[in-house]
Each structure stands twice: as C-alpha cells, then as structure tokens.
Amino acid sequence: MGSLMYVVLLALCLTVSGQQCLPDFERIDCLPETDASEQACLARGCNWCESGADGLDVPLCYLPESYGYKIDGDVETTPKGFRLTLKRNTNISYFGDDAETLNFEAEFQSNTRLRIKITDGTPRFEVPVEIGAAIGGNANPLYEVQTSNNPVFSFKVVRKSTRAVLFDTSLGGLTFSNQFLQIATRLPTKNLYGIGE
C-alpha cells in the first residue's frame, strides 16, 4: 500500500512540474512592468517557465495561449471586405480597463492593398487621419485574409500566388486597453531590418 501511495504522489508531482513550456521565441511577456517572480506571475494568471536560452531576454512569465479575444457571432460581409465582432476571452489584464468587445474590419482597398482596422466596441474618439480610399474593382486581390479562433482570434495575410505568409498574428496576445494596445506577429526570420518608431 505504501509503495502504491508513493507512485501516485510521484505521478502527481511529475504532472504538476511537467508543464509544457512555450518555445522561447513564442512567449509574450506577462509582467513587463516589474522584475518577474513566480509568485507575482501565477497571481496574475500567467504561465511561469524557466528558460533554456541563457543570456537572451526571454520572459519567464508569459501569457497563456488562451489570452486574447474570440470571434463572437458570424462574419459580416461588407461591400469592401468583411467585419467581425470579438469578445474578450480572459480576465488577465496588464493595466486594467481592457475593452470587452472589439470590431475587426478587413477592407480590400485594391488588388495589392489591404486595410485592417481594429477598434473598441464602445464608441470612442478616433484620430481623424485621412486614409486612402478603396480603389474599387477588387475582383482578384493578390492576397487573402485568413482568420482563426483557435485557441484565440488571430489573422494572417497570405500571398495567393506563393502561399507566403505576409503577416501572422497567431502568437496571440492581442491587448486593447484604455492606454495600452498590443498585437504580436510571427516573423519569418530572427533578423529584422528597417522597422522604426
């Protein structure tokens, strides 16, 4: 009986400590405002995992894969593309005052130009910036927009001719709060040049 109890306890310990860690470069920092501690990380509802990448700035405390928004309802087709409503999927918050619903709109402005707009579901001030109007006649865009709801909402922009992924938000981590916006993207390489402020 004693050895059976030992085996059960050992299996339980291995299950709890054997949490699957996300790869280092797929982690989105869950405690960006402080020095992370395991206790503070778990209190926020995030994942804690020691990193194997010595010397790199890899977060030990990172957002769970369920963090973000989910599609709420059906796709609404518009004259220039489509629109979705997104609903917040988690209670974790960086700074509080997160938008509970978002509007996602994809506007196919020409065969080579796409506009993605993500706004708060509650009306708020928008900076009046003139954006080029849709050119029309978008019978055959050279790209497509793919959306996913697994595990949370994400979208990809894909070149039709080569199936090359041009923009991919499947890392998750979409944050839309009163004074903090965040969208994470996958990059095709570890080296990136030409992006500034």
- pLDDT score for 137: 54
- What is the third-level CATH fold of 69-124+132-182? Immunoglobulin-like (2.60.40)
On average, the pLDDT of the chain sits at 83
Tens digits of residue pLDDT in 74-131: 999 999 899 999 999 988 887 788 999 999 999 998 999 999 999 999 988 888 887 7
Tell me the DSSP string of 105-131: EEEE-SSS-EEEEEEESS---------
- pLDDT score for 91: 83
b/e 42-73 (16+ beta carbons within 10 angstroms → b): eebebbbbeeeeeeeebbbbbbbbebbbbbbe
Statement: residue 178 has pLDDT above 90: no
> Is the full-model pTM beyond 0.85?
no
The number of beta carbons lying within 10 Å of the beta carbon of residue 105 is 16
Strand 154-159 to strand 165-168: parallel, antiparallel, or no bridges (unpaired)? antiparallel
Statement: residue 52 has pLDDT above 90: no
In terms of Cβ atoms closer than 10 Å to its own Cβ (0-12, 13-18, 19+), residue 88 is buried
- What is the third-level CATH fold of 20-64? Spasmolytic Protein; domain 1 (4.10.110)
Integer Cα distance of 59 and 56 in angstroms: 9
- pLDDT score for 33: 77
Tens digits of residue pLDDT in 80-95: 899 999 999 988 887 7
Task: Return the domain boundaries, the chain.
Answer: 20-64, 69-124+132-182
Integer Cα distance of 111 and 136 in angstroms: 9
